[in-house]
Amino acid sequence: MQTENVHLLLVEDNPRYLSELLEWLRDYGYQQIETATSATQAKEKLKVPFDVIISDMRMEQDDSGFAIVNEVKARNLSSVVIILTANDTVSDCRTAFKSGAWDYISKNMRGNVYDVLHESIQNAIAYFNRWGNVQNEQWITENLDTLEQTYFGQYIAVINKTVIDAADTEEALKQQIEERQLRRFLTTIRKIGDLRPISELIQMSESDRLEYKSTFQWDVKLNRENKDLRFSTLKTIVAFLNSEGGTLIIGVEDNGNIFGLEKDLSLLKNGNLDKLERTVIDSVCNHIGKNFTQQIKIRFEKIYREDDTNRVDAKDVCAIDVKKSVRKAWLQRTGEKKLEFYVRMSNKSEPLEIPDIYNHL
């Protein structure tokens, strides 16, 4: 957080002092400044988050400054509040700090009060740059299970204990925040769910949390399309949903050989990875349920391997990461009323019959 990016709200009812304060702060390099002339007006402006709020103490009411501190606290805002007052008292100072104010500065102090104010803002910036926002971090930890249901595998941006944006990569998320002009030190960025690179996963054997499939709907034996093969992928997704979650990798054979996605892509009109992802999601929606797409993340990675001639070959591989679901998932095949129930047993997705389903539930 640089000085020119700090968003300030000045709350001051004396026009002359407000003008002088604005001039000094701009000289220090602050560019994002908004003003309010009363606590009531300031509360309206708090609908948009600010990094630092500098407030007079005595305005339309004697304790207007405390009203702003309390409003920030009531809304769970992460903004730094600095009280700047000409009517400073020891009692008010104690109350301000007990209420959570960052600083309490007297306008009557010796020397240049604006230098002291600037130093206080810079100290706040340095603190949050180093330590981040503890309240946001605690909120994320406390609500991790709920967040994983919606944002598994994504990066989220949290302001004031609220998710304001999400993206698949940290770089993309930062760009989105920048475009929304919300790149402030009260924003906490965190990755939800630990997704290991596909290149690492394929070094591992199949297990209760990992499975390989050569293709999604290309029949390797018959060398043609076979849409019934989709249900092999879908039953594994159902099993992961009903168990502890896991990752299904498409484009890798059981022996670890990289088959790639070329055959599956050839079955799609103008086939590309986005269309393959859409096809998988549509299959989940139609045969498992739309609600479960929040527990599923699809990603792709190019795997580079050397062949016998030492020529580097690159093939696309797909990973479907599935989060354990609170609601139980069922598979319904095309044209059938019967619902199928699967769970993971060792490295297989096994169906359960009615008595076993009852015991499982």
219 has pLDDT over 90: yes
Burial 326-348 (b: 16+ CB within 10 A, else e): eeebbbbeeeeeeebbbbbeeee
**In the structure, what pLDDT confidence band is assigned to residue 19 with cuts at 50, 70 and 90?**
very high
Residue 162 CA to residue 280 CA, distance in Å, equals: 31
Q: What is the DSSP string of 84-115?
A: EESS--HHHHHHHHHTT-SEEEETTSSS-HHH
Q: Which pLDDT score is estimated for 305? A: 75
**Helix boundaries (H) for 209-272:** 230-242, 262-266
Higher pLDDT: 179 or 169? It is 169
- For range 291-298, the mean pLDDT: 91
Phi, psi at 344, each rounded to 5° = -85, 130
Written as six digits, the tokens of 103 are: 């600083």
Q: Which pLDDT score is estimated for 131? A: 66
Q: Which pLDDT score is estimated for 179? A: 77
Higher pLDDT: 233 or 91? It is 233
In this structure, what is the dihedral angle of CA atoms 224, 226, 232, 235, given to the nearest 10 degrees? 160
Sole residue written with tokens 């503890």:
134
Q: Which pLDDT score is estimated for 294? A: 86
- For range 164-180, the mean pLDDT: 85
Higher pLDDT: 309 or 100? It is 100
Q: Which pLDDT score is estimated for 112? A: 93
Q: Which pLDDT score is estimated for 66? A: 81
161 has pLDDT over 60: yes
The string of pLDDT tens digits covering residues 103-139 is: 999 999 888 999 999 999 999 888 877 766 677 888 8
- For range 328-336, the mean pLDDT: 93
Q: Which pLDDT score is estimated for 96? A: 87
pTM (predicted TM-score):
0.58
249 has pLDDT over 70: yes
304 has pLDDT over 60: yes
Average pLDDT of the chain, as a whole number: 88
Helix (H) or strand (E) holding 226: none
183 has pLDDT over 60: no
Higher pLDDT: 344 or 195? It is 344
The string of pLDDT tens digits covering residues 49-96 is: 788 999 988 776 655 778 888 888 777 677 889 999 888 889 889 988
Give the chain's domains with CATH numbers: 3-131 (3.40.50.2300), 134-191 (no CATH), 198-360 (3.30.950)
217 has pLDDT over 60: yes
